[in-house]
Amino acid sequence: MKELVIGFALLVAGCLLLFQLVDDSVLSGIFSLSSTQVTKADRLSVIYINNNCTKHNVTTNELPYHDLHMKWMAEEVTKENYAKANISLEAAYEYVDQIAIQITSQNLFGEKVYCHYFDSNKKKIGEPFESNVFPESVIYCLRRAGTNYVSLTKKPNDTPEYPIPLLDRTMEKPEHYFSVCIAPFFGTEPKWLMIAEFVEWYKLQGATYFYFYLAEMSLYDRIILDDYVRTGEAEVVIMHDRFDRPGDRWHMLEIHDCILRSRAHSKWAAFVDIDERLTMTQYKGTILDYLKNIGDKSIGSIQYRQRWIMKTEDQPEKYINATEVRVRKS
Ligand SMILES: *[C@@H]1O[C@H](CO)[C@@H](O)[C@H](O)[C@H]1NC(C)=O
Ligand SMILES: *[C@@H]1O[C@H](CO)[C@@H](O)[C@H](O)[C@H]1NC(C)=O
Ligand SMILES: *[C@@H]1O[C@H](CO)[C@@H](O)[C@H](O)[C@H]1NC(C)=O
Ligand SMILES: *[C@@H]1O[C@H](CO)[C@@H](O)[C@H](O)[C@H]1NC(C)=O
């Protein structure tokens, strides 16, 4: 229990640090997302198939670390107060110990909201549950038996936003040991070559899964991204809501969401941009080898020191042939 609290505190602290530095556009952090706090009895023997949550039938009675969250809320930890997106539901996750709903708003810090529960036919289950927005774009809710979809409102009797499905994160063991969360794509520079080079680089480092986020991208660049989805090595989260914002302002949401998305799905997740490559320097072996050798369970985050390399030209627009790709490396 205590161990996890420390892990989580590190996670939040790491996240803030990451934010400040990432705004300057480099540093990369890695977060441990193991969830070891639950007792055997709390666990469900569910099989993770197609995110089908109809087998879930668990009700919980308290939110983990609620008092700690209230304390941090009072201290305004993670408060950004940026995008005024009302309540826009992005994704929802069901863990063994709670549900987390990710929204794209960044101006509702600490506000009271209500979680609504629905079955597989989107029929309401029970009364709404009162919670708060914390951290900036996340709402934790109790689990409730039979729930397949969830939604939120500002007042208990408001009409809920159209419900979204719960993604299953109740697995006993993460499917992946080392995954990569990539900052949302935006802007017009061609990215297809960078994507291939990025994915293959991290695969050599032992990563087995990639969470991509997409604010803007050309259809041409999309071809290679979709191909990694086809082979089961990646998923693509579309960053979009009914409110407008500059492309780079999706970044913090990606960090919040990917922590939730990878929790219980991957033991470790790297938080990097598409032009960042992590590598070990004074250690013989891959990043995966290094991670597997971390025995101290109180370590929740590892930060890599950055080195800048000047980029003097844009990426090529189109694939020509294999020779051309090699030649362009100069
Ligand atoms: C989801 O799980 C339920 C219960 O096991 C099953 O009846 C149903 O066919 C599944 N649906 C899908 C889409 O896999
Ligand atoms: C779900 O759990 C409740 C008790 O929490 C039980 O009454 C009900 O029969 C269960 N439903 C299924 C489908 O297992
Ligand atoms: C956002 O919320 C405000 C205040 O409740 C409301 O006036 C406005 O219409 C909402 N905007 C959208 C697009 O839902
Ligand atoms: C590859 O493309 C370059 C540039 O268009 C061209 O000069 C070269 O002949 C091509 N090579 C092959 C093997 O097709």
Is 224 inside a domain boundary? Answer: yes
Picking from 143, 169, 195, the residue at the C-terminal end of a domain is 169
Query: How far does the centroid of ligand 3 lie from the alpha carbon of residue 78, in Å?
Result: 24
Query: How far does the centroid of ligand 4 lie from the alpha carbon of residue 37, in Å?
Result: 57
Task: List the pLDDT tens digit at each of the 330 positions of the chain.
Answer: 333 333 333 333 333 222 222 222 222 333 332 222 222 222 221 222 233 444 578 899 999 999 999 999 999 988 888 777 889 999 999 999 999 999 999 889 999 999 999 999 999 999 999 999 999 899 999 999 999 999 999 999 999 999 999 999 998 889 999 999 999 999 999 999 999 999 999 999 999 999 999 999 999 999 999 999 999 999 999 998 888 888 888 999 999 999 999 999 999 999 999 999 999 999 999 999 999 999 888 888 888 888 889 989 899 999 998 887 765 544
Query: How far does the centroid of ligand 1 lie from the alpha carbon of residue 225, in Å?
Result: 29
Query: How far does the centroid of ligand 2 lie from the alpha carbon of residue 138, in Å?
Result: 28
Is 325 inside a domain boundary? Answer: no
CATH number at residue 119: 2.60.40
| pTM, rounded to two decimals | 0.79
Examine the domain organization and report whether 61 and 155 are in the same domain.
yes
Examine the domain organization and report whether 135 and 74 are in the same domain.
yes
Total number of domains constituting the chain? 2
Examine the domain organization and report whether 139 and 221 are in the same domain.
no
Domain that holds residue 155: 40-169
Is 329 inside a domain boundary? Answer: no
Query: How far does the centroid of ligand 4 lie from the alpha carbon of residue 316, in Å?
Result: 15
- Measured on CA atoms in the order 11, 140, 172, 149, is the torsion positive or negative? negative
CB under 8 Å, gap of 24 or more: what pairs does 112-116 form? Answer: 112/154, 113/87, 113/139, 113/152, 113/153, 113/154, 114/152, 114/153, 114/154, 114/155, 114/156, 114/158, 115/139, 115/141, 115/142, 115/150, 115/151, 115/152, 116/150, 116/151, 116/152, 116/153, 116/160, 116/163
How many CB atoms sit inside 10 A of residue 292's CB?
15
Picking from 107, 142, 169, the residue at the C-terminal end of a domain is 169
Distance from C-alpha of 102 to C-alpha of 139, rounded to nearest angstrom? 7
Cβ(86) to ligand 3 under 6 A?
Answer: yes
Q: Whose CA is nearest to atom 10 of ligand 3?
A: 86
Cβ(320) to ligand 4 under 6 A?
Answer: yes
Q: Whose CA is nearest to atom 1 of ligand 2?
A: 57
Residues 6+ apart with CB under 8 A from 151: 89, 115, 116, 118, 160, 161, 162, 163, 164
Q: Which tokens hold the place of 150?
A: 């969830």
Picking from 169, 201, 223, the residue at the C-terminal end of a domain is 169
Q: Which tokens hold the place of 118?
A: 């629905």
Examine the domain organization and report whether 88 and 123 are in the same domain.
yes
Q: Which ligand approaches the C-alpha of residue 48 most closely?
A: 1
- Tell me the Cα Rg of the chain: 20
- Check if the beta carbon of residue 14 is closer than 8 Å to that of residue 29: yes
Examine the domain organization and report whether 181 and 117 are in the same domain.
no
Q: Of 293, 273, 272, 298, which Cα lies nearest the Cα of 283? A: 293
Is 297 inside a domain boundary? Answer: yes
Is 108 inside a domain boundary? Answer: yes
Strand partners, 254: none
Place of tokens 């293959």: 200
